[in-house]
Amino acid sequence: MPTAGGCGRLSPVAASPAPRDPVADLRRIAFLLERALESTYRVRAFRTAAATLAALPPEEIDGHARAGDLAQLKGLGDVTTRCVMESLSGSVPEYLQALEEEHPGPVTAGGARLRAVLRGDCHTHSDWSDGGSPIPEMAVTGRELGHDYMVLTDHSPRLTVANGLSPERLRRQLEIVAALQPVLSPFRLLTGIEVDILEDGALDQEEGLLAGLEVVVASVHSKLRMPAAEMTPRMITAIGNPNMDILGHCTGRYVRGRGRPESQFDADAVFGACAEQGVAVEINCRPERLDPPRRLLRQAIEAGCLFSIDTDAHAPGQLDWQRYGCERAEECGIDPARVVNTWPVEDLLAWAGDHSHRPSARKSRR
């Protein structure tokens, strides 16, 4: 059996640790900060530094490190330069070490069983609307988390505060997604949108464009406090739109900070319509939303709805939030077979693509 130094003397080189990948370390730092819902501002330095270094050949990074002029590169400041130097010397950057210790393991204790059978995420945002990262970074992170697929669902035109996509911008985005596909394969980045449910229940995007998207999430973002007598028909009209696949964060509530009350609607009627039309009710995993609340979740199960457990991530690290939704789904006793993102991509696409005669969720699909 070979032993250390068994073939001769130990070389001094073998004694020093191999350099780590500074880009991977910076991305990991950003990921952990995002997962902890840190401000985009605090994360940006690490994302920018990682992007700058990722565009350079490793020899060039080494050259700058030896010359001591890393800080001259775009986006590299004191903290990020120190991290890179530590990585290159073969040690885990102190900053990263501290974060790993601060946030060990998954975001919450429960939900492991259901999370293990999820194959994708159907609600995510990029920097094309109000997300913090470019499309490829979101997609690569989704792939690294073990997903088979991820739906890109940036906002629709009327949500101007979130830089919603005009039809032209959405068409351009579709070309970008198509061009990325070969790079990501076999992982699938699916085309989609989080389209606003307008006050009259219409969806805020050209019908033809919606029909061509692979998955359509529709959500209420305006006039959240309208009376139930108006909100119920508004939601039911949207659910009846054959292009709609998933009802996003149905109550619009916020459970953190100053909070926001639930929108009022006739849950029996709304979930009944979802079940009838085969529209999935989203279990939104954002820690400040956790929407719908458990009592409505149980009601939707009772109504025979399908579900989609989605992060609504606005940054790569937030893609790791699915355990929050899985935990709640398990507490409410959801059958994993009714969760559309436990399905293989072909089944998901067949369901979402069936825009004419949706199989009722009450009939067992699988």
Q: Dihedral of the CA atoms 137, 128, 190, 118 (nearest 10)?
A: 60
**Residue 308 CB, nearest distance to Zn ion (Å)?**
12
**Residue 170 CB, nearest distance to Zn ion (Å)?**
15
**Residue 233 CB, nearest distance to Zn ion (Å)?**
20
Nearer to Zn ion, 121 or 194 (CB): 194
The span of 5-13, 201-209, 277-285, 307-315 binding Zn ion (CB under 5 A) equals 307-315
What the block records as the tokens of 115 is: 């999370």
Residues 233-252 that bind Zn ion (CB under 5 A): none
Q: Does 25 bind Zn ion (CB under 5 A)?
A: no
- Interface residue with Zn ion among 312, 324, 328, 343 (CB under 5 A) is 312
The span of 94-102, 212-220, 250-258, 317-325 binding Zn ion (CB under 5 A) equals 212-220
Quote the Cα angle for 338-344-345, to 5°.
115
The span of 4-12, 232-240, 306-314, 323-331 binding Zn ion (CB under 5 A) equals 306-314
Residue 218's SS3 state is strand
Nearer to Zn ion, 218 or 297 (CB): 218
Nearer to Zn ion, 86 or 194 (CB): 194
Residues 115-134 that bind Zn ion (CB under 5 A): none
Nearer to Zn ion, 69 or 199 (CB): 199
What the block records as the tokens of 120 is: 């994708």
Burial track 226-255 (b if 16+ CB lie within 10 A, e otherwise): beeeebbbbbbbbbebbbbbbbbbbbbbbe
* Per-position x/- string for 255-294, each x denoting binding to Zn ion as judged by CB under 5 A, each - no binding: ----------------------------------------
Nearer to Zn ion, 25 or 291 (CB): 291
Q: Does 310 bind Zn ion (CB under 5 A)?
A: no
* 306 φ, ψ (degrees, to nearest 5): -90, 165
* Per-position x/- string for 160-199, each x denoting binding to Zn ion as judged by CB under 5 A, each - no binding: ----------------------------------x-----
- CB-CB contact of 40 with 108 (8 Å): no
What the block records as the tokens of 157 is: 């035109």
**Residue 276 CB, nearest distance to Zn ion (Å)?**
23
**Residue 249 CB, nearest distance to Zn ion (Å)?**
6
Nearer to Zn ion, 96 or 231 (CB): 231
Q: How far is CA 14 from the centre of its chain?
A: 41
Nearer to Zn ion, 141 or 219 (CB): 219
Q: Does 219 bind Zn ion (CB under 5 A)?
A: yes
The span of 55-63, 179-187, 224-232, 310-318 binding Zn ion (CB under 5 A) equals 310-318
DSSP alpha helix (H) spans, the chain = 12-15, 22-35, 40-54, 58-67, 78-88, 94-102, 112-117, 135-144, 167-184, 207-212, 228-239, 267-277, 294-302, 322-331, 345-353
Closest CA to 83 of 49, 122, 117, 43: 49
Half-sphere exposure of residue 144: CA atoms within 13 angstroms, side-chain side: 14
Strand-by-strand arrangement of the 120-124 sheet? 120-124, 149-152, 188-196, 215-219, 246-247, 280-284, 306-310
The span of 43-51, 73-81, 173-181, 305-313 binding Zn ion (CB under 5 A) equals 305-313
Nearer to Zn ion, 219 or 308 (CB): 219
**Residue 153 CB, nearest distance to Zn ion (Å)?**
6
Number of residues interacting with Zn ion: please give it, by CB under 5 A: 3
What the block records as the tokens of 356 is: 């004419």
**Residue 158 CB, nearest distance to Zn ion (Å)?**
13
What the block records as the tokens of 298 is: 């149980």
44: exposed, middle or buried (Cβ count in 10 Å: 0-12, 13-18, 19+): middle
**Residue 248 CB, nearest distance to Zn ion (Å)?**
5
Question: Residue numbers of the site for Zn ion (CB under 5 A)?
Answer: 194, 219, 312
